[in-house]
Structure 1
Amino acid sequence: MVAHSSDDVRGTLYIVATPIGNLEDFSRRAEKTLREVDYIAAEDTRHTRRLLNHFGIEAKLFSIHDHNEKDKSEYVATLLEEGKNVALVSDAGTPLISDPGYHIVSFLRARGLTVTPVPGSCALIAALCASGLPTDQFFFAGFVPAKSKARCDLFDSWKTQAGTVVFYESTHRIYDSIKDVASVYGDDAQLVLAREVSKTFETFLSGTATEILAMFDADANQMRGEFVVMLSFTQESGDEKELEAMRILTILLEDLPVKQAASMAAKLTGEKKNYLYKMALEMQAD
């Protein structure tokens, strides 16, 4: 049963994960929580109402989304301080994971109010655990930029990122995003694309960016749906690249000024000139 905290009569905000596709993934605890709270804050009340109707749950709904989240924080705090319990849900999966909720949770924590997770479905974790890529370290980037230039800049910044990189992408931009991955990494990244996780047409595609694009060209249906994109880099690790850059700079600095040495090292290693220039200055200072 949903309960108030033991030290006062204030309510609790429950962060409730909902199915990302298969309704059988809805946990008994999540269903019970939504039945018993006083209010449910939903990203899209129409979408959540369909879920509630399926399980025969009646609830007082109000909306919390990207455009009103900050304004609703005080309202939710007031409900909790009055002893009401509130559940926060997104359209699918775990709230706050590339969905609204951060500002409210941060605001409530600062007020000393109770926030409790009710774990469940999350596309990020579901896709990663079945990808076959390394899971001991991973970096989640959420949704990547819509413009190619900004995407490529972001992808380029991941070149020294340890572990598997994960991001979300839509059906409308998946081809262009993978094309940009190919332009930045060539064949130096192993990709796994999880499409429509837990839904009827769930599919995992594996290969280099070039191979994935060929799959799209051969079957346009593979571009339909919502995607979790995972990249594992086959190039040298960040530590190995830094050691190699230092080795090359050490040799070049014996005969060249810092600026020229950094420029030459950038051509040899593919690292950014400014990064190598700073490294060379630090090496000389030592």
Structure 2
Amino acid sequence: MTSAISPTLALHDGREIPQLGFGVYKTPPAQTAEAVSVALAAGYRHIDTATLYANEQGVGEAVRASGLDRDEVFVTTKVWNADQGYDATLAAFAESERLLGLGVVDLYLIHWPQPARGLFVDTYRALETLKGEGRVRSIGVSNFEPEHLEALREAGLETPVLNQVELHPRLQQEQVRAYGERHGILTEAWAPLGRGSVLDDPVLAGIAAEHGISPAQAVLRWHLQQGRIAIPKSVTPERIRDNIDVFGFVLDEVQMAAIDALDAGESGRTGKVPGEFND
């Protein structure tokens, strides 16, 4: 496979984000630099990390060693739950900034709303401060439901550029996506392959066979054609490369509808329920 470069989507703040990114959730710190280096060589230009993952340093090392100009790679990190609140978020970002060693961060997200703690509005104010200082280019959220996004709007805060949520064929998040579309908030899918749980579905196997591709490639193509961002993860070089090799085919309307029909609602969720996760 020759290296591929993802198309970009426009953020409402005037910037652009590569539509297909590379996630490093649960990637061991010692393997992160190598995995990200493979991804960058394959054509990924969007890397997603977080304080929780404890591998920001490896991401920064790989980006610096890649030979790419800093502006060619879109880097996202996130503030963890224990660091919510205005001052704590500023301190947490300073540490992420140090570990990444890349200067400005392209996108900073609140990792979870933690609604029972009542801190996410003040946390988002800190994100606005960081953007105003030029240390962060864009700001957004992760795992926010419409009521959490409404709280930011009612507080008069800047609209997040995107909302990163668990989203895959068995959990399609219709209400979250619809809210985002109404307010110009892009939807980004974490666990875009359902942590592998969807890949043995016969519908996906059939679509993959029709195109001579893998079920994972079919699912990633479905995400892209629906106009959202997806951030698959792997530490296996072959899979890293296969996951970006999704630009040489198109799913037709029947195939897209067949994947749409796999939605199982909340029973398809593999992670935490945002409104209930306050640990």
Same fold per superposition (TM over 0.5): no
| TM-score band, normalised by shorter chain | under 0.3
- Give the structure, 1 or 2, with the largest relative contact order (CA under 8 Å, sep 6 or more): 2
